[in-house]
């Protein structure tokens, strides 16, 4: 789970901003708060981020995306790091590094991972393991030195890997690539647990829902007709890999790089047709995603995905997310930018209510999203500490605040009205005059 996330000098966030998922002392909706015993704390399973256009909501999402890409994908030798620092105001600040700090819950252990970076170099990197009230600094990379914990200082393999870590590369990334497993849980959290879904992207593990043997396949097809899509169920229509309407360069890349048992999802533009390709028994098996609708006589008619509305396509993209995080034993942390794009407000609320109804003290999944949907700004649904505001000031600097930080926001208050009236910030400053 994501416990806390801080950024500084990243895009519109010039000053340090902290997004905390640690539950406050309020008792509202306490039944859906996951509990950790060591250290003893509650971690929020959901968080909604509001704010006007260009207030910083998407920049927060992009910070997570940058960090995940840098950690998981790494960098090429001699390449610049694609870091986007604050560009307005003091020119000296532009040359300062961006800083990222994560506090993660991984298998009931807290890890703190942080790094500061400019276009050329990883200036600092630190990994701490928290056990109860004790903290162990596993390593602290600073001034070209690893500063390992005493229990690791004599590990020659670690010293060898550190010496081979480039200036523009995270030691965490290089250590895992060199098969050093001691730090791998943190790397794997970014690689496998953290899922980032942009407005125009699809949920990466979606292909599993085309497998009739997958436990969530039947659940998804049961829910689709209940969401007023007109779709009776989804299907995967086999198609020859050679006949896929994709550039030959992409096909060649798949032939060379797709590992045995791995699956990728592809979208063929401009027709918006969707395919999944799997390497099985050495060969490439491809399927085209199709939908089925009932006729008046009870028979079914097949449709291509491009024939579905934007809203139906968005439901198909997001429904696997909600099914995944609501599944028992799920540890996924899903972050969705603009969750309400192309979807009716009542539908999103229904999906969110269903997810929260399955959350408990033992849950370990999370749903974090940005939105303009004020119907969700309801204390009958979300706690105050689960609702956040981004606001940009006159100097172009974004700030991040939780509703729980406002002293006049009571547990029984209609905060939606106060928000729309501008009393809580996070609304656009519209200067146009009426004609």
Determine whether 431 is exposed, middle or buried from the number of CB atoms within 10 Å of its CB (0-12, 13-18, 19+). exposed
User: Does the pLDDT at position 270 exceed 90?
Assistant: no
Of all residues in the chain, the percent with pLDDT exceeding 90 is: 61
| Of the ranges 107-111, 172-176, 198-202, the best mean pLDDT one | 172-176
Mean pLDDT of 105-129: 96
Alpha-carbon distance of 411 to 405, in angstroms, equals 12
Average pLDDT, the chain: 89
- Pick from 3-7, 27-31, 144-148, 193-197 the range whose average pLDDT is largest: 3-7
Q: Report whether 367 contacts 46 (CB < 8 A).
A: yes
246 pLDDT tier (thresholds 50, 70, 90) = confident
Q: Which domains are delineated in the chain? A: 1-199+337-435 (3.40.50.300), 203-322 (no CATH)
- Give the integer Cα–Cα distance in Å for 86 and 13: 7
Over residues 377-403, mean pLDDT: 94
The model's pLDDT over 10-30, given as tens digits with 9 standing for 90+, comes to: 999 999 999 999 999 988 999
The larger pLDDT score, comparing residue 414 to residue 82, is at 82
Average pLDDT for residues 310-334, to the nearest whole number? Answer: 89
Q: What pLDDT, on the 0 to 100 scale, is given for residue 91? A: 60
Higher pLDDT, 238 or 386: 386
Which of 273, 277, 310, 266 is CA-nearest to residue 290? 273
Asked whether residue 4 carries a pLDDT value surpassing 90, the answer given is yes
pLDDT band at 131 (very low <50, low <70, confident <90, very high): confident
Residues contacting residue 2 through CB under 8 Å, at least 6 positions apart = 21, 102, 103, 104, 105, 194, 333, 366, 368
Q: If you ran DSSP here, which 8-state letter would residue 269 be given?
A: T
C-beta of residue 102 within 8 angstroms of C-beta of residue 5: yes
Does residue 203 have a pLDDT over 60? Answer: no
Per-residue model confidence (pLDDT) at position 158: 95
pLDDT at 44: 98
**Residue 45: per-residue pLDDT:** 98
Its pTM stands at: 0.89
How confident is residue 36, by pLDDT bands cut at 50, 70 and 90? Answer: very high
pLDDT digit string, tens, across residues 205-219: 555 666 666 677 788
Cα–Cα distance list, 90 to 15, 85, 93, 286 (Å): 12, 12, 5, 53
Give residue 269's pLDDT: 76
Look at residue 175 and tell me whether its pLDDT is greater than 90: yes
Q: Return the pLDDT at 209.
A: 63
Are 102 and 127 spatial neighbours (Cβ–Cβ below 8 Å)?
Answer: no
Q: What percent of the chain has pLDDT over 70?
A: 91
pLDDT (0 to 100) of residue 314: 86
Strands (E), 341-407: 366-370, 387-392, 398-402
Give 171-178 contacts, CB < 8 A, sequence gap 24+.
Answer: 171/122, 171/125, 171/139, 171/141, 171/146, 172/71, 172/113, 172/125, 172/127, 173/70, 173/71, 173/72, 173/74, 174/74, 177/74
Whether 136 has a pLDDT exceeding 90, the answer reads yes
């Amino acid at each position: 789970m994501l416990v806390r996330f801080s950024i500084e000098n990243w895009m519109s966030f010039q000053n340090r901003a902290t997004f905390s998922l640690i539950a406050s002392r309020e008792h509202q909706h306490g039944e859906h708060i996951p509990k950790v015993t060591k250290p003893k704390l509650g971690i929020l399973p959901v968080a909604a981020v509001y704010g006007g256009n260009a207030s910083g909501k998407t920049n927060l999402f992009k910070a997570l995306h940058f960090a995940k890409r840098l950690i998981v994908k790494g960098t090429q030798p001699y390449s610049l790091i694609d870091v986007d620092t604050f560009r307005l105001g003091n020119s000296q600040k532009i040359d300062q590094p961006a800083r990222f700090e994560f506090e993660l819950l991984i298998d009931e252990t807290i890890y703190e991972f942080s790094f500061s970076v400019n276009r050329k170099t990883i200036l600092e990197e630190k990994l701490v393991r928290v056990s109860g009230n004790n903290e162990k600094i596993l390593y602290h990379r600073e001034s070209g030195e690893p500063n390992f914990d005493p229990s690791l200082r004599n590990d020659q393999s670690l010293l060898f890997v550190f010496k081979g870590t480039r200036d523009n590369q995270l030691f965490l990334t290089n250590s895992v690539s060199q098969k050093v497993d001691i730090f791998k849980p943190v790397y794997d959290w970014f690689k496998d647990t953290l899922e980032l879904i942009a407005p125009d992207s699809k949920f990466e593990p979606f292909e599993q829902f085309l497998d009739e043997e997958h436990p969530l396949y039947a659940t998804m097809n049961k829910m689709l007709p209940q969401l007023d899509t007109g779709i009776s169920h989804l299907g995967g229509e086999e198609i020859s890999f050679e006949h896929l309407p994709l550039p030959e360069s992409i096909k060649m890349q798949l032939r060379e790089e797709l590992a045995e048992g791995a699956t990728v999802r592809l979208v063929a533009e401009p027709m918006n047709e969707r395919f999944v390709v799997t390497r099985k028994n050495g060969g490439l098996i491809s399927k085209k995603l199709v939908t089925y609708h009932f006729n008046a006589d009870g028979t079914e008619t097949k449709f291509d995905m491009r024939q579905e509305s934007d809203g139906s396509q968005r439901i198909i993209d997001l429904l696997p997310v909600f099914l995944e995080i609501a599944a028992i034993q799920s540890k996924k942390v899903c972050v969705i930018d603009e969750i309400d794009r192309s979807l009716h407000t009542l539908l999103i609320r229904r999906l969110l209510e269903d997810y929260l109804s399955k959350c408990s003290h033992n849950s370990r999944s999370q749903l974090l999203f940005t939105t303009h949907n004020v119907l969700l700004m309801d204390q009958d649904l979300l706690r105050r500490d689960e609702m956040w505001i981004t606001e940009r000031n006159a100097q172009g600097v974004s700030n991040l605040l939780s509703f729980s930080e406002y002293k006049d926001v009571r547990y029984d208050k209609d905060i939606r009205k106060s928000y729309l009236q501008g009393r809580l910030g996070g609304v656009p400053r519209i200067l146009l005059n009426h004609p």
